[in-house]
């Protein structure tokens, strides 16, 4: 029977943020066809390089991998939003350094996932719901650079993509500025369920799922 494994960070491992409500993997199990299974290997706080350890714990009968990671890599560099600069070129140079580091880490991670020879899908990084509107605006702009890395990595390899920026598009989708609520988790689970059931991985054709 098909067995979906979730890899990455607290986008999937969100039990600590939904009180007694269902987390993403539980909601995914409720949406998968009868006989399908889902396992949570994602770990709250994980960065892109941490997915390698999660792959070491794959169930032997895993049939599909879904990866959502990168938000904590972005948080590592959140201080750049507070830094001053003498020119736009200086800002872009700093962002370029972050982009290149993330691209290396993300592509290395993705090759490790694809090395399992299983149908694999990835997710973009959604936009944080910071209370301060200016911080929210700056963070959304900065994240476009990292999301470009993710979309290029997916499309160049013919992988399907869940665009969490479009899935998690309401404030109520968030339990706090960066973690999915029960409502948000339900929407994420629905998008994943649609992807793994509907997408023909044999065609190696990139398709964007938004629920």
**Which pLDDT does position 82 carry in this prediction?**
66
Average pLDDT over residues 178-189: 98
Distance between the two ends of the chain, CA-based, in angstroms? 23
pLDDT band at 112 (very low <50, low <70, confident <90, very high): very high
Judge whether residue 8 has pLDDT over 90.
yes
Average pLDDT over residues 96-107: 95
CA 187 distance to own-chain centroid: 13
Question: Among 102, 173, 115, which residue's Cα sits nearest to residue 142?
Answer: 102
| DSSP run (H or E) holding 145 | helix 133-156
Between CA 5 and CA 115 the distance in angstroms is 15
Judge whether residue 161 has pLDDT over 90.
yes
pLDDT band at 203 (very low <50, low <70, confident <90, very high): confident
C-alpha separations of 101 from 15, 24, 70, 77, 96 in Å: 30, 29, 12, 11, 9
Average pLDDT over residues 18-38: 97
What is the reported pTM?
0.94
User: Among the listed ranges 66-75, 84-93, 95-104, 163-172, which one has the minimum average pLDDT value?
Assistant: 84-93
Question: Strands (DSSP E) along the chain, which ranges?
Answer: 3-8, 37-40, 64-68, 120-123, 161-162, 174-176, 179-180, 208-209
Higher pLDDT, 96 or 91: 96
Average pLDDT over residues 111-120: 98
Question: Among 1, 2, 6, 24, which residue's Cα sits nearest to residue 122?
Answer: 6
Question: Strands (DSSP E) along 84-177, which ranges?
Answer: 120-123, 161-162, 174-176
- Correct CATH for 3-209 of 3.30.1330.20, 3.40.50.1110, 3.40.50.300, 3.30.360.10: 3.40.50.1110
Judge whether residue 29 has pLDDT over 70.
yes
pLDDT in tens, 67-87: 999 999 998 887 766 666 677
Q: Is 44 helix (H, G, I), strand (E, B) or coil?
A: coil
Strand pairing class (179-180; 208-209):
unpaired
Cβ-based neighbour number of residue 152 at 10 Å: 13
**Which pLDDT does position 87 carry in this prediction?**
76
Between CA 153 and CA 167 the distance in angstroms is 20
Cβ-based neighbour number of residue 90 at 10 Å: 12
């Amino acid at each position: 029977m098909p067995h979906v494994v979730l890899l990455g960070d607290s986008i999937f491992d969100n039990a600590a943020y939904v009180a007694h409500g269902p987390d993403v993997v539980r909601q995914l199990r409720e949406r998968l066809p009868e006989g399908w299974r889902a396992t949570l290997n994602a770990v709250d706080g994980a960065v892109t390089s941490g997915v390698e350890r999660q792959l070491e714990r794959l169930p032997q009968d895993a049939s599909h991998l879904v990866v959502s990671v990168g938000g904590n890599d972005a948080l590592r560099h959140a201080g750049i939003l507070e830094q001053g600069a003498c020119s736009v070129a200086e800002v872009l140079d700093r962002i370029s350094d972050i982009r290149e580091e993330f691209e290396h880490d993300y592509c290395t991670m993705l090759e490790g996932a694809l090395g399992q020879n299983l149908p694999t899908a990835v997710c973009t990084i959604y936009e944080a719901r910071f209370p301060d509107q200016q911080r929210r605006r700056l963070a959304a702009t900065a994240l476009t650079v990292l999301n470009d890395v993710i979309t290029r990595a997916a499309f160049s390899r013919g992988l399907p993509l869940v665009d969490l920026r479009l899935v998690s598009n309401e404030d109520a989708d968030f339990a706090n500025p960066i973690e999915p609520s029960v409502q948000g988790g339900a929407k994420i689970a629905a998008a994943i369920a649609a992807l793994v059931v509907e997408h023909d991985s044999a065609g190696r054709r990139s398709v964007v799922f938004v629920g």
